[in-house]
Structure 1
């Protein structure tokens, strides 16, 4: 029997000492697969503290591996990760739909990453017997998580690397990609010592530069791009870029402008390299084929079953190109059945996702892996 739970739900419930408006937004796709869409019952619970929560209960669907209802929770601090929230929730719901699982899904917005709010969220989960959690926290919560009693709760952390935590609890599972591994993979395609780096004055740009520094990679020419700078002729018209290995630690727009300016100014690099941040199909629409001729990008996202991929895209997730969505998928799959079904190629080893970076060339038809 086939079922479809094609419902993307994003709920924002505001509580606190100031009275705030409560909004519930439900987007139901028009596509129909199998039986008609069943609208779930949505329960909104107000709490005195600042923790906000939503419980989603769907009508019973046979669970293939077990007759028990799966209980899973999603926690996120909206102040820091708002842009990742909807696609992450969509990815989780799409996976549960694909697996035809009978589930309870609770969403809690801790608003920030304070000890008080995070502790309150986990107390709520304990009281309601939720033992599997996907928590979209940033690395700044490592110390807090080590202070909280997480007994009998497994917590998957899509945005945190294991090596960023001094103390690793056995029930914490780390899911962030490793930029160090991607950089090491790119260095293999760096044929000479004539290296140039462009990095952006942003959190990610500075983080990537620091990764190069920590790996001891000697880059004689380093060019910083200020946040509001969109004119690069002065930075590009530099003889040192000819026959150089150019590393772009820049966002998709800045990368596209740099590639275009390299072509326009008749600069001939040996190769142009970038990490996951430029594994984005928008790059193809923003540049010409000749701009991308020597461009190679690394990605830690592995192949996904086509049917599962279609389901996730129907719900609004993007595990093909967005590594956070892909990490969330790896996490929910692991919490559900520890990947015993072999649904995904990416594995979790010693409480950490074992990503395998791959290199791609951008063509007019998309990204093609370099074997």
Structure 2
């Protein structure tokens, strides 16, 4: 059954992604004009031929998907996607939107407007196309580089939810902008309650890593900060490094480098006081990439609190790990926020997180690593 589900959804995703990115040929446009967008295609596959019909029947039975009348649009949202900038997160965001639609069992009109990059001309063009098509509610997974375009009085009549940015990093945001980014500073501050007085932070020179290292520096006293850049990783500097020995070490590095570093501390007999990481390394792969002894004193901050198993299953069908991907999680919360506040105010919330002062408020749990996964620190 699982293989049938995966095969069907891969087929559907190829169908919509090819049409969206290539802007459709005449046959495609005719098909779309008849109302067969992605969600409608799933709910009522008028164009599906054997053997896909049997896959659809199995999935519909498994997920208990109701019939939805073609043309019914309970929710209308545009996605502004700078795919050249956010890369693989383009798919994460769109898949998360689709999973939310399935969870709600609602008809939809979801359309993706690709901007390519985050230049003023590119983003303005994508937003104007969406606005001309009648969209008023937007999900825009942009970086701070593109925020100045959206944070404009030209778009005061539109509602934007930005899943990738925390409002703490924004100066003077307009009231029509809402944010869902993780509060990394709050995570670091909570992790510091486990630390001793001697602080080390490793990065890789990336934008996210530099941001995390700066937050560590701003919240501690003279930390030792070291960047390990490139793929040719040389760690000889760790030998007899008294600055690292018995320190509380922040791994502000991607997963692979974090796993490598955690093993080398023991090799160089540095015996860290504790290993610390933000949401950046909250990933199930960390368990398989590290030895239990290397992560014995590892603590990781996590703000993802998956609401139910059905949403996890729907996300997994679409290839996303909702319980580990904060961008997917933030996107779904944004969908819930828009649906509850602007479309159907009588609906019940799926997520417990609330919007306060235009920013989603996340809880922060400190997690430990076991042999088979993560568990709450007590």
Q: Contact 2:238 / 2:244 at 8 angstroms: preserved in 1?
A: no
What is the correspondence of 1:34-183 to structure 2 with a 5 Å cutoff?
A: 34-35=60-61, 60-61=68-69, 69-147=74-152, 149-183=154-188
Residue 199 in structure 1 maps to residue 203 in structure 2: yes
Measured after TM superposition, the shift of residue 165 of structure 1 is 2.6
Q: Please report the RMSD computed on the Cα atoms of aligned residues, expressed in angstroms.
A: 3.0
Q: Identify which of 237, 240, 244 aligns with 1:241.
A: 244
Provide the residue aligned with 2:262 in structure 1.
259
Q: Deviations over 1:244-264 (max 9, x none)?
A: 211111111111111111222
Provide the residue aligned with 1:18 in structure 2.
none
Q: Contact 1:119 / 1:148 at 8 angstroms: preserved in 2?
A: no
More helix by share: 2
Q: Deviations over 1:266-325 (max 9, x none)?
A: 332221111111111111111111111001111121232111111111122222111111
Q: 1:104 to 1:261 in 2, by over 3 A?
A: same
Q: Contact 1:60 / 1:102 at 8 angstroms: preserved in 2?
A: yes
Provide the residue aligned with 2:21 in structure 1.
13
**TM-score (normalizing by structure 1):** 0.82
> Counterparts of 1:116 and 1:226 in 2: how far apart (Å)?
33
> Counterparts of 2:284 and 2:249 in 1: how far apart (Å)?
21
> Counterparts of 1:194 and 1:146 in 2: how far apart (Å)?
40
Q: After the TM superposition, which segments of 4 or more aligned residues of structure 1 sit over 6 Å from their partners?
A: 26-29
**TM-score (normalizing by structure 2):** 0.80
Paired residues, what number? 335
Provide the residue aligned with 2:361 in structure 1.
354
More strand by share: 1
> Counterparts of 1:346 and 1:60 in 2: how far apart (Å)?
29
Q: Deviations over 1:328-349 (max 9, x none)?
A: 1111111112495231122211
Q: Contact 1:91 / 1:325 at 8 angstroms: preserved in 2?
A: yes
> Counterparts of 1:61 and 1:188 in 2: how far apart (Å)?
54
> Counterparts of 1:316 and 1:227 in 2: how far apart (Å)?
29
Measured after TM superposition, the shift of residue 35 of structure 1 is 4.4
> Counterparts of 1:62 and 1:343 in 2: how far apart (Å)?
25
Measured after TM superposition, the shift of residue 326 of structure 1 is 0.9
Alignment gaps of 5+ in structure 1 = 16-21, 38-58
Residue 308 in structure 1 maps to residue 311 in structure 2: yes
